[in-house]
Amino acid sequence: MRVYLKTLGCRLNEAELETWSRGFQALGHGLTRELEHADLVVVNTCAVTGEAVRKSRKLIRRAQRANPRAKLVVSGCYASLDPTDTAGIDLVVDNRDKDRLVEIATKRLDLHAMPEMATEPGESPLLAQGRQRAFVKVQDGCRYRCSFCIVTVARGEERSRPVCDILDEINRLHAEGVQEAVLTGVHIGGYGSDLGTDLHHLIRAILARTEIPRIRLGSVEPWDLPENFWSLFENRRLMPHLHLPLQSGADSVLRRMARRCATADFSRLIEQARLEVPDFNVTTDIIVGFPGETDDEWRQTLDFVERTGFGQLHIFTYSPRPGTRAAGLPGQVDRETKKARSQELHALGQRLKTANMEACVGRRFPVLIEGKPLTGKDGREIWGGYTPNFLRAAVSAPAGLELENSIREVRLERVADAGERIMATLV
């Protein structure tokens, strides 16, 4: 069968999609990028915001219209929160069972198949799609209940993968040619709470028992970093970048959000990271217009964001999510106020991102080269990639070099495209 896979939302959803792609191919099914040509369509939905729910519904309807003959499997947070919305859907796989989605779909939809042809051991479905980076799911679920978050309700309790399974997956990916593994989960900092271990132990094991050149962490809650965490970065294979969700720079708002980290704690954490980890870059999430957010609280957020100097901001405009405590809080902020605050924060975030890039101009960094090159005006080729501290680089190199999926040292020359990337030359 030809399988079309599509996901919305977080890196964890992407990691799950990659796992499913390998699972379907191991059973002899092929992947297709054309929805209309698929025999089976699998959609991994998202529900983090009202807009994500809208997009999830739209994607499901599009799949039904574009290819009504294909069998349709839906999973993810939206599907798990509203499993009754199944019109035209052949199978809904709850988040609690999505690690077994390929197995469940095979049995329930009778998808048994024999391989059409033999493949070489380790043939890479990721590289066939031009991928140099893979997302590796290490855990699911969350023990905390931030008042705005529906994802923890949809994902359920914490469940960690055994260390040996994660090591096997990373080693397999590396053998297929993948150069960078990104550890993902709903609550990575809680890894091992159900196994008698922790994130520090997991990363130590990965550094000791794999040889993949680059390891990154996905989003990590700032209150859950284990003791001696920063010492892990002494191994340069662990990339000096963390996405630490702040959500607000006002302690009063953080309390209404039921967050477990005050701004003073966050500042001390970032200060320690920058002291101990060379070239450390921190990015974050900010929610705009949380219920009851006053002008003074908003000003506190802007001031804290600027003082901290984040390398990049992910900005979310608050929307009530049924089933969360925040949806019933008084003082819902009007749409125009949220729009104005979002625009103000976007402008600040772009300025901080540009300043972070400019501070690195003139220095050398190794860059993982991704994708295919474009031809510049001078006849040289322009390749894309990221530095260890997650700066997007456009690398100029002589034409004809095969650089894709290699790690090359570059010199950062200047910030371009309004701070979206930094121009670099191959050393």
Encode pLDDT of 194-251 as tens digits.
999 999 999 999 999 999 999 999 889 988 888 789 999 999 999 999 999 999 999 9
pLDDT, the chain, mean: 89
Give the pLDDT of residue 112. Answer: 54
Q: Do the beta carbons of residue 227 and residue 267 sit within 8 Å?
A: no
Whether the predicted pLDDT of 145 surpasses 80: yes
Comparing CA positions, the residue from 89, 115, 98 lying closest to residue 28 is 115
Residues 6+ apart with CB under 8 A from 382: 373, 374, 375, 376, 394, 395, 396, 397
CATH 3.80.30.20 fits 130-358, yes or no: yes
Comparing CA positions, the residue from 302, 349, 341 lying closest to residue 318 is 341
* Tens-place pLDDT, residues 372-386: 888 877 889 999 999
Measured in whole angstroms, the distance separating CA 227 from the mean position of its chain's CA atoms is 24
Are domains 130-358 and 364-426 of this chain identical in fold? no
Give the pLDDT of residue 418. Answer: 83
Q: What single DSSP character describes residue 398?
A: -
**Domain 364-426, CATH class in plain words:** mainly beta
Sort strands 139-140 and 312-317 into parallel, antiparallel or unpaired: unpaired
* Tens-place pLDDT, residues 149-168: 887 777 778 899 999 999 99
CATH number of 2-108, picked from 2.60.120.260, 3.40.50.12160, 3.40.50.970, 2.60.40.420: 3.40.50.12160
Distance (Å, whole) CA 409 – CA 424: 10
Comparing CA positions, the residue from 251, 354, 369 lying closest to residue 301 is 251
> Which pLDDT band holds residue 320 (cuts at 50, 70, 90)?
confident
Averaged pLDDT for residues 249-257 = 97
State the burial class of residue 363 (Cβ atoms within 10 Å of its Cβ: 0-12, 13-18, 19+). Answer: exposed
Whether the predicted pLDDT of 116 surpasses 70: no
Give the pLDDT of residue 321. Answer: 82
Whether the predicted pLDDT of 283 surpasses 60: yes
- What are the phi and psi torsion angles at 245 (to 5°)? -65, 120
Instruction: Give the domain ranges of the chain.
Output: 2-108, 130-358, 364-426
Distance (Å, whole) CA 268 – CA 29: 51
Q: What percentage of the chain has pLDDT greater than the value 70?
A: 95
Distance (Å, whole) CA 343 – CA 347: 6
Q: What percentage of the chain has pLDDT greater than the value 90?
A: 64
Instruction: Name the amino acid, one letter, at 368.
Output: L
Q: Do the beta carbons of residue 8 and residue 59 sit within 8 Å?
A: yes
Measured in whole angstroms, the distance separating CA 92 from the mean position of its chain's CA atoms is 23
If you average pLDDT over each of 70-74, 182-186, 279-283, which comes out highest? Answer: 279-283
* Planar angle of CA 98, 138, 46, nearest 5 degrees: 45
Distance (Å, whole) CA 404 – CA 131: 10
* Tens-place pLDDT, residues 353-404: 999 999 999 999 999 998 888 887 788 999 999 999 999 999 999 999 999 9
Indicate the pTM of the whole model: 0.79
